[in-house]
Structures are given as structure tokens and as C-alpha cells.
Structure 1
């Protein structure tokens, strides 16, 4: 039987919590009575297409999994979360996954409910979306990634079910025996484990570098996908460690060896498709890690990276969101090249080429016409706004979000973003008005650093959000038992791009 303790809790909307925390002069309301969290109601099941989400409490779901000897598939999401809609569109709506889900007890947990937050705290949920696989007896065995192809998603599920051991145990056994001698399914689990959401193994930065470096080096060459994933994890660990170290982490020979491996990955469509986080969000840092100074080898790697990104952008069977995100490395590498042409001591902020800005506008126009589903638009509009912001087109980003947000499933998510754009443009009154415009249905915090006091207010009621949407210490304390989880989730989601902000904080591929 599952050892997870489930409790009854008073269900309050996140509006009641966050509004009460942020706007101290208003009285929050809308709390319901005592009830137990239910998951997979008929409304929820319809919302998530054909997956037969369990209809009942999490406790009942774990009991059913044990009685039927089935693993449990737990999806933690929210309607406002763009990466959640990306996951649903890329994986959950695919017929092959719907069929695969019959091998599990599938549970959808709405992370905005109070008792779900309490359960998430116990599970160590790090943000939206989270997918956890449990054995029939309730032991956690796997945290799934979101960006891999659906066919590989099924393979990873099979590997987790075949071995049915906690990932911490799998890692210890693989490292003791040596990756070259490990069972292929164990290496598959380690390669595709969602390390950025890990709360069970908890490797320190130096441990990650050593562990992923060894896995990359010793995994047999015939396990191409796993080896490429370990390469991406190793690069991510090196990049993270380099942020806190002034010492060189690699010799020239090691850089050259990694450059060859990265180039081979970028030239292989299958490897690229299984390493989209590396492709999209680690371009600049990887190039700078392997080539600290501008040089012909650096330019060669940039050329291969851009070619791989353009290949994804032009792949018709990929989600629109993936095809848009493939423009991010093109932006970052264009900035890197422009900076290389500036004097060494220059602090001038570079602009991307006008041709690339025009290309971004063209792709946004294409995506606007290609996507009409409210849920998919929640993710796609998020990507479109992020592209415009990253390319220095903040005014166009505000205009786009204003025009498109009412077509999405959760417009309130974007209202906060618009407010932050206005604040950055030194329009505090407009920012406040925008953020309060439809406050009764706003479930997310107000923009980063927004002064909540009205113009001219000197009553000392100012409260500010800290770095990336983290609530001020006093406000977080007021949230009670779910405060740490809320902090992590607001950090992971924030009022800007969900997945991009994760990566910028050092998210592992």
C-alpha cells in the first residue's frame, strides 16, 4: 500500500491565496468546504481527451494500483501552465500514448487545489508540469521528461516498468558495476530521467559533472540515444559548474573531443529530436564552453547548431511550439557573433540582424494561423511572446499578448506578463492597471517587482515580488504548509516563459 499520507483540506482558489498575499488591502474569498481531492473527474477526463484519468482521490488511485498490480502514472499540471499544454499536445493527445496509458492507473492532479499542493509537497514536486511513475506498491521509480518524441516516451516508460526500482538505486548499481556493464534499460532510465525535477537523488554540482561525465564516457556506443542524452547532461553540468568557478574545467583536448561529439549530435536528426532542451536553450553556453574565444572552430560549431535548429524549425510533423522554439538558438548565437565584433571592453548591448527579426515576425504570423485550439495556444502564444522579447521587440510582444491572450485557455497568465512589460517600460500606473484589470480571475502573482501601492500611496502597503516571481519572505510565510511548494512552482512558472526560465536557471537537458 502506498506510504503517501493524504489529508482532507479546505479547498480555496489560488486567487484567494495569492490575492490575499499580494494585495493586503483586499479581502480574499471563495473558499469551499471540507473535501478530499478528486482526480480525473468526467469534466477533467473530457478536457484531457481520451486518457481514462482515474476518477477518485489519490489515495483510492494508489489502492487500485496496488490491487491490480499496475504502476501509477501521476501527472501534475494546471490550466494556465504553457509547458503543461505543450506536454499534452506533444504526448498526451497522441493515439499511441492514449493506448499506452491503459497499462497504468493514470492520475491527473490539478496542482492549483489546496490538498494537491500538500500532496505535491510530500512528493517533492518542483514545478509544472511533473510526471511521476510509481510502482504498484506506491514507490516512486521515475520522473519523466517532456520534450522527447512520443515513441521514445513509450520506450522510457517500458524501461521504468521493466526494472521498477527507484532511480537512486538504479544510479548506485550502474555506477558500482560500471556503465559499460549495466543493463540497457537502467541506462535508458538514467538518460531520460527528468534530472531538473529531481528531489530523490539530489546530486551536488560537482557530483553531476563527475557522474554524467562517466556515463557519457563509458556508455556503449551502440546505445546512441542514451549516450547522446548523457552528453547533453554532462554539458549542462559543466555549464552549471562553470558559473560558480573561475577555474578551467576542461583541457584543450577535452574541449576538442566534446566539440566532435556535439557536432555529431547536431548532424543526426534522431539525436537532435531527443535532445531539444540542449538544442534550444544551451547553444550559446555550450559554444562558449568549448570555444572561449572567437575562432574558425567556434564559427563551424555555430554553423552546425544553426543548421540543426533550422532543420527542426522546418520539420512539418513537430508541434508548432517546437518549431518556434528552434528560433531561440538562432537568436542567441546571432547575439554571440555580434558581441565578438565589439571591442573587448565594450558594454554595448547588441541587436540581432533585421533579417532575423523579420523572420521571427513571419514565423509568428504562420503560427497564429496554424493553431486555433485554446490549450495549444496557451503554449504557442507563450513561445511567440518569448521570441519577440528575446529579439528586442518588447512593444510587439505586448501587442501580440494583448491581441492573442483572450484566445487562449487561461488569459490571466499573460496579463501579468503584459504588466511586467509596462513596468520595464517605466509605465508603473499602466502596469498596475493591467495587473488588476481582471484580478478576481487572476490565479498568478503580479509582475516581477511591481509596486502594488497606488500612485501617491504613502501608507506603507508596498509589497514586491522578488527574483523570478518568488514571493517576499513575509508573504510566503503566510501561505502556511504549502508555502515552499508555491515558491518552487512560482519560480518554475513565473509570469514569463516557463521552460525558458527553467533553463536559464540551470535546468538540465
Structure 2
């Protein structure tokens, strides 16, 4: 899916291909996913889905609550497990909060997600015992910076929301530590609560202006530029692009500043370059050169996680493609060399889930689809979530124009997927691709939708958060597919099946409206 990016890392799996086993199978897989913690002395994760009890414990022990929202298959979640949760420093810090692990496929998880406004995997929130957010912790920064942010959050007496209000009001009494928490807040999280999404670019640029000069102000400014370059729809904000180019180039040329902001430097290189410069202009050529130098330094830096080093390689490819769809043989050779070395050096199962995703994406983006396929197929036998890589293989086949192979992989991915929310996501992805690649195969589309709805009818709290988003996407696809009434027979059948599911929901249940809207939205 979400290259690893500061704009949507929580939704990373969606960049590849957006995609009910028994509860016993899920529990076994979930337990396996946390063996790192057990081996390291253990983080005492609460996984009972009893958040009331968790908050009661937080209150009685006077500790904050750390909510981790993730999924077994999610590459950045596995990255967090392999580089942060397994670190002794994090394990020791976990004694100072109540750690709650909420897996998106666990019972009632999507309902809790709606309550706490968490959708993208992973989301990590530190909350006071009364449920007030202290901060949303960034999932895209490296482990060292993450632990620094966590330490600051545990020690602060001021929530990020309070700091934000003080900054906007012009307060001069904000502590250096609280400015850092503000700069490292998950502004790209679509569910963040500080400001409306459309206001994020202007807010960040304003905060950069009022923040005391230094690295924190630079981070706020860079985040503001990236948010501005990627906002949809484009905000009506006027900036001095010449000044922005100068500030950005200085940041990229500063090894320490670039390293401190590796999530930003490797996250939106092409988007920001395209926003600030004109095609084939001297300014673009110069910026790409400076940016590539920074990216090479990052991809060579062995103190950075392997997945993040690969994200720097992906950014180089994206920059190269600004000059045309075909990249040089020299860059392809370099990509293969770097991917091969990192692949060989990655033995940890959780790290591999993240690294192989990034490596296959790098190869695919570099038009090395056969190499990407070979890497993915080799991983199917050892991955704990092979269906994720099956979807990537489907994406590669789709790029080649091989519709039959693409649909075969998407079908296999759906069949192999595990967990109610995951199966719904992968099923919706399969249906979407069926509509795109085989719109005339009514029987196949009917079978897929019927299968999804049958499982949905057996799922408690099925119409919340990510589930609802998956259903909405699939519903829009089907409505568009049948806009001329050419597939009315199938559409009516699946609509009737969904109506039966909706009818069983209580009248006062908020899910009822979500259910009824799936196949009626324009």
C-alpha cells in the first residue's frame, strides 16, 4: 500500500493495493506478532479489548495509557515492532504507562477505533487516565527520535492541544520540550484533533514562524511545505517559492538536519520538487541534485532502519521520474544493488514484512517488475501475512497489463487473508479490481460481493471506521459499474442481500445508516 511517507504512512498499505478466520486463529497470529516483547522481557500489553478496565487501571495507578492501534499484516506496524517495541529502552518506559494493544481484527476493534478516532495503521496515542489525548506519537520517525518524543510526552504536564492553543495565542512561555512535541505530532493523521485537515498547511507554516529559531522551527516549516505540496484540494495559500527553495536546499545540505528529518526528506521529495519548481527549469535541476545527495547519504547510513534507507531509494526513483517516465540504467543498477544488500541483511520476520514491501516497491517503481516479482514470490513461504505480498504481485501484473494474472493474485490474496476487517479490506480490493479489469464478468463479481456480505453478516460491529471505509469504496465501484443499468440483475441481488443485513440492525444503531448508504451513495 502508504513509499513510507509522512503524509500517509498510517495508510501505507493503500499505496500497494488496498486490500473471517476463526477467533482462535486470530489469537494465535496476534500472539506470534508480539514474540519480540516476550523475548525481551516483555511489554505487558493489554489485549482484552476492555478499555474501560484499562482506563480504570490507569486512573488507579496514576499512569497515562498508551494505545497502539495496528494490524498483523501492516508493514509500518511491523517496522514499529522490529525497531521500537523490541528496544529495551521502550520496554523499560512501558512500565510508566498502561500499554494497550488494539488489533484492527480483534472483536469490537473498529467500534473502539471510531471512539478514539484511529483509522490508519499504526496509530499510537498517549492519553491521560480521563481519556484526554496527551499526544499522537509519530509512527514514521526512526526509533531514536520516537523514544525521545515518547520521553517528552511522558514528562510533560501540557497536552499538545494546550500547547497548540498557547502558540496560536502568541504565548512566549512555551517550553522547548513542548515545542518539540508540537513539531513531532502526527499532523498527517487524518483523524488528528488539533485542526481541520484543510488548515494543516497554513497552521504548520504559522507555527514555524512563531517557534523559536532552530531545528524544531525547521521541522515545522518542512512539515508545512510538505503538507502544502500534497494537500487535496490545493489550499489557497501564497508562499514565496524562492524563499522556500532556499530554506529547503539549506536543510537538505545540512547532514544533521536532513538526518533529523529523514521521514520528511525521504517522504515527499517528488511532490515538493514538483510544487516548488517548473518542469526542466534550472531551479528543478539544482534542487534534484541537492536532494539526491541527501538521499544517498540517508540510504548509506547504517544507523537508519533498513526500511527507511529503502524509502530514500524510492524517493530517488520518484525524483528521476520527474524528468520522464524512463529512468537510467545506472539508477536501475544502483537500486538492484541496494535492494539486494538490504534484503540479504534482513533476517527478522517482522522487519522483513516492512523491508520486503519497500524493496519490492523500489524495484517495481524502477521498472524492474521481474525482480520485484521474484522477491515477493520468495517471501510468500516465510511471511506471516503472505496475502499482503500477493496483492503487490497483483499490482505488478496490473502494471504489465496482464489482467488474468492480476485478478488471480488479487483472488488468492483475498482467499488467504485473515481477520474480519482484513478480509473485508482485501475483498473490497478484489471487487474493485474485478470491476476495473473484468467488468463484463458479472458472475465472478457477484460471487465475490456475495462472499463479502455473507462474512459481513456474521461480524459484530461491522460498519465502523476502516470497515465502513472499505465498504464505501466497494459500494462506489459497484454503483459506477452499474450506472447504465447493464448489470442490474447482479446489483439487485447483492443489494437485497445487504438490505437483509441492514434490516437486522437495531433502529437506533448508528451502523444502520452506514449499512444502508453502502449501495445508495452517488
Task: Report the TM-score range of the alignment, normalised by the length of the smaller protein.
Answer: 0.7 to 0.9
**Structure 2 counterparts to residues 138-157 of structure 1, below 5 A:** 138-157=131-150
Query: How many Å apart are 1:42 and its aligned residue?
Result: 7.2
8 Å Cα contact 2:64/2:97 also seen in 1 = yes
Per-residue CA distance 1:388-427 (angstroms, 9 max, x = gap)? 2211222332222112232222112111222333344343
Are 2:75 and 1:97 equivalent residues in the alignment? no
Q: 1:262 aligns with which of 230, 233, 248?
A: 248
In structure 2, the partner of 1:191 is 183
8 Å Cα contact 2:137/2:186 also seen in 1 = yes
For the residues of structure 2 that align with 1:463 and 1:181, how far apart are their CA atoms?
62
Q: Which moved more, 1:77-86 or 1:47-56?
A: 47-56
Query: Cα gap change, 1:450/1:40 in structure 2, threshold over 3 Å: closer, same or farther?
Result: closer
For the residues of structure 2 that align with 1:324 and 1:289, how far apart are their CA atoms?
23
Query: Cα gap change, 1:78/1:213 in structure 2, threshold over 3 Å: closer, same or farther?
Result: same
Query: How many Å apart are 1:132 and its aligned residue?
Result: 0.7
Are 2:36 and 1:53 equivalent residues in the alignment? no
In structure 2, the partner of 1:17 is none
More helix by share: 2
Query: Cα gap change, 1:46/1:240 in structure 2, threshold over 3 Å: closer, same or farther?
Result: closer
8 Å Cα contact 2:394/2:407 also seen in 1 = yes
Per-residue CA distance 1:182-240 (angstroms, 9 max, x = gap)? 22233122111111225353634552232111111221114x1x212201221023213
**Structure 2 counterparts to residues 40-79 of structure 1, below 5 A:** 45-48=34-37, 49-50=39-40, 51-55=42-46, 56=48, 57-79=50-72
Query: How many Å apart are 1:478 and its aligned residue?
Result: 9.6
Give secondary structure in 2 for the equivalent of 1:261.
Answer: helix
In structure 2, the partner of 1:450 is 433
For the residues of structure 2 that align with 1:190 and 1:257, how far apart are their CA atoms?
24
Query: Cα gap change, 1:88/1:228 in structure 2, threshold over 3 Å: closer, same or farther?
Result: farther
In structure 1, the partner of 2:404 is 429
In structure 2, the partner of 1:10 is none
In structure 2, the partner of 1:18 is none
Q: 2:128 aligns with which of 132, 135, 140?
A: 135
In structure 2, the partner of 1:506 is none
Are 2:359 and 1:359 equivalent residues in the alignment? no
Query: How many Å apart are 1:364 and its aligned residue?
Result: 1.8
Q: 1:272 aligns with which of 258, 264, 270?
A: 258
TM-score, with length taken from structure 2: 0.75
Are 2:381 and 1:370 equivalent residues in the alignment? no
8 Å Cα contact 2:43/2:99 also seen in 1 = yes
Q: Which runs of 5+ in 1 are unaligned?
A: 1-21, 23-27, 340-349, 466-470, 495-509
For the residues of structure 1 that align with 2:445 and 2:415, how far apart are their CA atoms?
20
8 Å Cα contact 1:266/1:304 also seen in 2 = yes
Q: Which moved more, 1:476-485 or 1:80-89?
A: 476-485
Query: Cα gap change, 1:46/1:328 in structure 2, threshold over 3 Å: closer, same or farther?
Result: closer
How many residue pairs end up in the alignment?
440
8 Å Cα contact 1:70/1:105 also seen in 2 = yes
Q: Which moved more, 1:146-155 or 1:407-416?
A: 146-155
Are 2:273 and 1:287 equivalent residues in the alignment? yes
Per-residue CA distance 1:157-190 (angstroms, 9 max, x = gap)? 2332333444333311221024x55222331221
For the residues of structure 2 that align with 1:441 and 1:146, how far apart are their CA atoms?
27
For the residues of structure 1 that align with 2:58 and 2:299, how far apart are their CA atoms?
41
Give secondary structure in 2 for the equivalent of 1:201.
Answer: coil
For the residues of structure 2 that align with 1:292 and 1:480, how far apart are their CA atoms?
52
For the residues of structure 1 that align with 2:168 and 2:27, how far apart are their CA atoms?
40
In structure 1, the partner of 2:487 is none
Query: Cα gap change, 1:140/1:354 in structure 2, threshold over 3 Å: closer, same or farther?
Result: same
8 Å Cα contact 2:149/2:181 also seen in 1 = yes
In structure 1, the partner of 2:301 is 315
Query: Cα gap change, 1:427/1:219 in structure 2, threshold over 3 Å: closer, same or farther?
Result: same
Give secondary structure in 1 for the equivalent of 2:303.
Answer: coil
For the residues of structure 2 that align with 1:403 and 1:83, how far apart are their CA atoms?
20
Q: Which moved more, 1:44-53 or 1:121-130?
A: 44-53
Q: Which moved more, 1:278-287 or 1:381-390?
A: 278-287
Are 2:465 and 1:485 equivalent residues in the alignment? yes
